[in-house]
């Protein structure tokens, strides 16, 4: 199972239920990596999307404790047991945990690969991804050239858990 996130220098990922920034090339990477796959997210991340709509051309699985919450085009699960039962239908390598903070933290230990876009900046933030550089079992196995978007520098990294 995979994780995918864009983080800043402090591993921040969001502020006030929004992304910290929007880098078109990173959005493209996210779309290309997850299209045709299964994406797992928390209810707040779903609601941060335009129109609060699920992502197109992907199987969207939403975690919420609210039994009456329904969204067209997405599968609702209400706890981790229900999530695991649902995920049994898919190959683990086709599953991408896409956030937010609460979901990354709960599912990190079940994942073996993390696609991290590292943005060289420190934003005001209230949501964070676990710092993989402080976890000895996670190692960078791939790093891109430096990319730029106006003044921002960023890298596409792949971490694997040993
Ligand atoms: N930079 C990135 O790559 C990236 C990616 C995704 C998100 N983000 C950012 O992350 C922030 C949101 O993160 P967040 O932690 O506040 O919210 P979140 O993880 O997206 O959603 C939290 C919600 O998920 C549901 N939930 C969580 N654990 C559950 C469980 N075990 N069982 C059932 N439901 C569960 C609950 O919904 P109910 O309240 O409905 O019960 C909870 O309130 C935003 O700023 C967003 O923009 C950043």
* Residue range 27-48, pLDDT digits in tens: 999 999 999 999 999 999 999 9
Q: List, in order, residues 6 or more apart from 23 with CB less than 8 Å away.
A: 6, 117, 119, 149, 152, 154
How many helices (H) and strands (E) would you count in the chain? 4, 12
Handedness of CA 129, 133, 137, 141 (dihedral sign): positive
Q: What is the pTM of this model?
A: 0.98
Cis check for the bond before 100: say yes or no (omega within 30 of 0). yes
Containing structural domain, residue 129? 2-161
pLDDT for residue 2: 99
Our answer on whether the CB atom of 65 is closer than 6 Å to any ligand 1 atom is yes
| Centre of ligand 1 from the C-alpha of residue 45, in Å | 5
In CATH, what number is assigned to the domain containing residue 57?
A: 3.40.430.10
The model's pLDDT over 63-102, given as tens digits with 9 standing for 90+, comes to 999 999 999 999 999 999 999 999 999 999 999 999 999 9
| Centre of ligand 1 from the C-alpha of residue 139, in Å | 25
Cross-strand pairs, 116: 5, 157
Q: How far is CA 90 from the centre of its chain?
A: 18
pLDDT for residue 5: 98
Q: List, in order, residues 6 or more apart from 128 with CB less than 8 Å away.
A: 7, 10, 11, 12, 13, 101
pLDDT for residue 78: 98
- Ligand 1 atom with the shortest distance to the CA of 77: 33
Our answer on whether the CB atom of 78 is closer than 6 Å to any ligand 1 atom is yes
The total number of structural domains in the chain stands at 1
Q: How far is CA 2 from CA 5, 72, 96, 111, 116, in A?
A: 10, 25, 5, 5, 11
Our answer on whether the CB atom of 107 is closer than 6 Å to any ligand 1 atom is no
Our answer on whether the CB atom of 19 is closer than 6 Å to any ligand 1 atom is yes
pLDDT for residue 79: 98
Which amino acid residue places its CA nearest to atom 32 of ligand 1?
A: 79
The three-class DSSP label of residue 84 is helix
- What percent of the chain has pLDDT above 90? 100
């Amino acid at each position: 199972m995979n994780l995918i996130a864009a983080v800043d220098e402090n591993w921040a990922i969001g502020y006030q239920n929004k992304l910290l920034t929007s880098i078109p090339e990173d959005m493209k990477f996210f779309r290309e990596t997850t299209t045709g796959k299964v994406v797992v997210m928390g209810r707040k991340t779903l609601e941060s999307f335009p129109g609060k709509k699920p992502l197109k051309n992907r199987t969207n699985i939403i975690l919420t404790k609210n039994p009456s919450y329904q969204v067209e085009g997405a599968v609702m699960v209400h706890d981790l047991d229900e999530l695991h039962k649902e995920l049994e239908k898919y190959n683990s390598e086709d599953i991408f945990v896409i956030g937010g903070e609460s979901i990354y933290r709960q599912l990190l230990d079940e994942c073996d690969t993390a696609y991290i876009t590292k943005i060289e900046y420190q934003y005001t933030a209230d949501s964070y991804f676990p710092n993989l550089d402080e976890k000895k079992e996670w190692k960078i196995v791939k790093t891109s050239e430096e990319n730029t978007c106006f003044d921002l520098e960023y890298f596409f990294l792949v971490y694997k858990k040993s």
